[in-house]
Amino acid sequence: MRNLLKTGKICITMFLFTVLLTIVGGKEAFAGNANIRFLTDNPVIDVGGTVNISIDIEADVELADIEASISYDQNILQFVSGGDFITGADGYLRLTDKASVGGTTRHYSMAFNVAAAGECEVTLVGAASVLDVNYEEVNYAFAPVKVTGQSVVVLSDDATLKAIKISPGNLEEEFSPALTEYKVTIPFENEYVVVNAVPNEENARVEINGVEGLNTGWNTAEIVVTAQAGNTNTYNLLIYRQFEDEAEDNKKKTESKELLENRGKMIVVEEAGRVYLSNAFTYEIVELEDKSIIPIGYKSTKVTISGVNVDAYVLESNPKDNFILIYAANISTGDTDFYQYDKKENTIQRYNRATKIVSNAVTGSDLSKNEYEKKITLCSVIIALLALLLAVTMILAIKLLLKLQDKKYNDDEFDEDDEDDIDLDEEFSDDDIRDIETLDEDDDDDDILL
């Protein structure tokens, strides 16, 4: 019995020792746990603003040294500061805290500038080291944070229009974004109008009211423009719908006016390679096979009429003359002949061949300026030479007339006074007679020179 009790005591002692070792050994093998969280008060920041992000650590054991690596998108965030324990840049930061000992929490702060629009995650990268006061590793879990940079949107307050188009009818006033009232007249047949209002700022909203169910007389329609910023601007349309009898009178006046304006004017149409011209009659331009019938003084060329190239014939002396010839067939009569086209008035009529000589005559207007001046100069020189020749002839004629009169007078006087007294054979020698004849010849030469 005594031995049995002794054996029991030994077993109880060994059990208690085993339990004690288990408790002590279990306490040495126990590992703490911690949560690491990234936090921010404002996850959406305008570009150009600043965002603050904190790192909070909570553990169930007292903490000592902590080391961790942090990553972020450097294109969106720019690191500004991280206190005494966080350093780095260009998308990579390092958290190093070996100065703090004790306590179950840690708090670290970081500041970033938002450089661009977009979403950026700030998180741990790689394995962090979290130690307790016994410098044993502490298990941890972590939660990152996302930050979004958004573009700064400036809402436009532009509530103006850049154009108003209406059908039927036309605005009586010239459009201006600053002018907010316009008048328009529409026919009696139209009970509504179609309005196209184009805002000056593409994101502005346009609302059109009062353009349907129009009464005869004056009606008011509104174009309300609402800007992005919320302010509005209203354009008023004063629409006059004609009365039935008024519309009929205006229609007749319009038709008469159009008839007067378009009478005699030509329309050019090109279909399937053929060119047709029409005013009072319709003509088809045809190919001229017999070139010999081209009127004298004209040459073949190409001209453009209402955007269509056609065969034509122009004056050789003045290719830029407003009148040109076209060889065409009259669709109504079947006649094929030359027709004269007036480029200035855009009209066509039958070519009058009786005016051919006048048309081909070279006048000052047909000549170039230099040619005209040369011809005027030549004519002036010829006229001057003729005038000089005439003057010389007149002087010579006058001289000759005076000489003849003097000679007649001398001869008459000589005959009267000395007819009976002078005998040439007695009074003058042969030498004297020759001297007198020589003197007369010199006088004649001088007269001719003059």
Asked if residue 19 has pLDDT above 60, the reply is no
Same domain, yes or no, for 242 and 201? yes
Asked if residue 448 has pLDDT above 70, the reply is no
- Domain membership of residue 57 (yes or no) is yes
> CATH number, domain at 201?
2.60.40
- Domain membership of residue 9 (yes or no) is no
User: Under 8 Å CB-to-CB from 285, ≥6 apart: which residues?
Assistant: 274, 275, 276, 277, 310, 311, 326, 327, 328
315-322 mean pLDDT: 88
| Helix or strand (DSSP H, E) at 223 | strand 217-226
Structural domain count, the chain: 4
Which of 341, 360, 379 is where one domain is finished? 360
Same domain, yes or no, for 82 and 188? no
Same domain, yes or no, for 81 and 171? no
Same domain, yes or no, for 387 and 321? no
Same domain, yes or no, for 297 and 344? yes
Same domain, yes or no, for 189 and 131? no
Same domain, yes or no, for 271 and 381? no
- Domain membership of residue 155 (yes or no) is no
Buried-exposed string 204-227: b where 16+ CB fall within 10 A, e elsewhere: bebebebbeebeeeebebebebeb
Give the residue with greater pLDDT, 421 vs 448. 421
Asked if residue 20 has pLDDT above 60, the reply is no
- Domain membership of residue 409 (yes or no) is yes
Which of 310, 334, 360 is where one domain is finished? 360
Same domain, yes or no, for 104 and 62? yes
Give the residue with greater pLDDT, 413 vs 43. 43
Phi and psi torsions of 25, nearest 5°:
-65, -35
Quick one: pLDDT at residue 282? Answer: 81
Quick one: pLDDT at residue 445? Answer: 47
- Domain membership of residue 3 (yes or no) is no
Which of 333, 360, 387 is where one domain is finished? 360
Its pTM stands at 0.36
Q: For the range 229-236, what are the long-range contacts, defined as Cβ-Cβ under 8 Å and sequence gap of 24 or more?
A: 229/155, 229/156, 229/157, 230/155, 231/157, 231/159, 232/159, 233/159, 233/160, 233/180, 234/180, 235/161, 235/164, 235/180, 235/181, 235/182, 235/197, 236/180, 236/181, 236/182
370-375 mean pLDDT: 71
| Residue 108: Cβ-neighbour burial (10 angstroms; 0-12, 13-18, 19+) | buried
- Domain membership of residue 333 (yes or no) is yes
Same domain, yes or no, for 329 and 404? no
Range of the domain at 178: 161-246
Asked if residue 359 has pLDDT above 60, the reply is no
Could you give the 3-state DSSP secondary structure of residue 340? Answer: strand
Q: Which of 293, 256, 267, 261 is nearest to 348 (CA)?
A: 267
Could you give the 3-state DSSP secondary structure of residue 241? Answer: strand
Q: Is beta strand 232-241 parallel, antiparallel or unpaired with respect to 181-186?
A: parallel
- Domain membership of residue 259 (yes or no) is no
- Domain membership of residue 254 (yes or no) is no
pLDDT band of residue 283 (cuts 50, 70, 90) is: confident
